[in-house]
Homo-oligomer: A and B are copies of this chain.
Amino acid sequence: MLLTPPYAVFIGDATDPLGLKMACSIAYWRPELCVGEIALPSCSTTVGLPKVSLEEAVNQGAKSFVLGFNNAGGHIDEKYLPEIKAAVAAGLDIINGLHDKLTDIPELVNLAEQYGVRLIDIRHPTTRFKTGNGQKRSGKRLLTVGTDCSVGKMYSTLAIHKEMQEQGMSATFRATGQCGILVAGEGVAVDCVVADFISGSVEQLTPDNNAEHWDVIEGQGSLFQPAYAGVTIGLIHGAQPDALVICHTLRREFMRGMPGYRLPSIDETLTVNLLHARRTNPECKVVGICVNTSAVDEQTALETCQMIAIETGLPCVDPLRHGVSKIVANL
């Protein structure tokens, strides 16, 4: 699925950016693709884009209307239907990263047909995938893996991709989740692929390429996550990574949503991920560690990263605080 920028980013009546993962991702990583944010009068937050009306967005060339929010259940809130319908009627594609599908709402389907626009449910792949074949592909691949979900894999992957581009390397960011897909404009929501086709979908997402080209692949889940490890191992096998980057977050004792399940150590994470990665790429190496240090102050963050670097012999950074140049230099 290929998305069409520029985007009008709809943030509804949000009062807190925490519920605006989609909007925050595109506003942070691709502000140049956004004409602005559209908010309801009761909205009391911002993702940092200019506030615009639907009409202004259209006049400034917006081609797609992005539903900027996420919620636990993945539901499309019916209260937003009037704004969505108005965007359809204004000729914009609608981009939805929630579990619920726009295409399950008949009146929207009819309206979209009438106005010739697309309802794009990016969590629901429309491609027919093949099962994995494990055959070696040309080009290089880097994959982020984590001690847990939500430890900064997307951020780290995008930071590494940006650093590579700034250094003049040939690199493509490969998105595997809804926010990444919005940022990249294309990709596969790997957690929504049928189980038999997980690694196959990743093989298709990261095809043969020039010998010096890097696919920089967004990781998902964790091999240690009792809910989502299937997604992770399929990603690892399908990616055939040459390089792994371990992502971790400080001060998280238990796995997200899994009381009683302790986070694995970085060392354990490194060993087990490498074990599986070497199944499809025997040359795979871990090239660095990204730590989300937001729970501690600058000085502690720096000391912690230095300590991990000494213990593991690998560059260790907080991508947000320290950048990722040390990791890219280690490729």
Contacts and interface: CB of A to CB of B under 8 A. Distances in A.
A230 B231 contact: yes
A261 interface: yes
A198 B230 contact: yes
Interface stretch (A20-28, A104-112, A219-227, A305-313): A219-227
Task: Categorize the interface residue count of chain A.
Answer: 35 or more
A229 B134 CA distance: 12
A133 B227 contact: yes
Interface in A241-296: 255, 257-258, 260-261, 272, 275-276, 279-280
A5 interface: no
A275 B276 contact: no
Identical copies in the complex: 2
Given A134-B261, A258-B134, A196 B226 contact: no
Interface in A120-139: 131-135
A262 to B, nearest CB: 10
A229 B234 contact: yes
A264 to B, nearest CB: 9
Contacts of A237: 226-227, 229-230
A199 B255 CA distance: 16
B198 A226 contact: no
A229 B199 contact: yes
Contact of A233 (B131, B190, B233): B233
A279 to B, nearest CB: 6
A18 interface: no
A192 interface: yes
Contacts of A223: 233, 276
Contact of A196 (B131, B228, B275): B228
B194 A132 contact: no
A135 to B, nearest CB: 8
A132 B261 CA distance: 13
Contacts of A131: 227-228
Interface string A61-81: 000000000000000000000
The 7 closest A-B pairs by CB, nearest first: A230-B234, A134-B226, A230-B230, A132-B227, A198-B230, A191-B196, A226-B237
Given A134-B258, A134-B260, A261-B279, 10 more contacts: A132-B227, A133-B226, A133-B227, A191-B194, A191-B195, A196-B227, A199-B226, A200-B227, A230-B237, A272-B275
Interface of A: 131-135, 190-196, 198-200, 223-224, 226-231, 233-234, 237-238, 255, 257-258, 260-261, 272, 275-276, 279-280
24 contacts: A131-B227, A132-B227, A133-B257, A134-B255, A134-B260, A135-B260, A191-B195, A191-B196, A192-B194, A192-B195, A193-B194, A194-B194, A194-B195, A195-B195, A199-B226, A199-B229, A200-B227, A223-B233, A226-B279, A226-B280, A229-B233, A229-B279, A230-B234, A261-B279
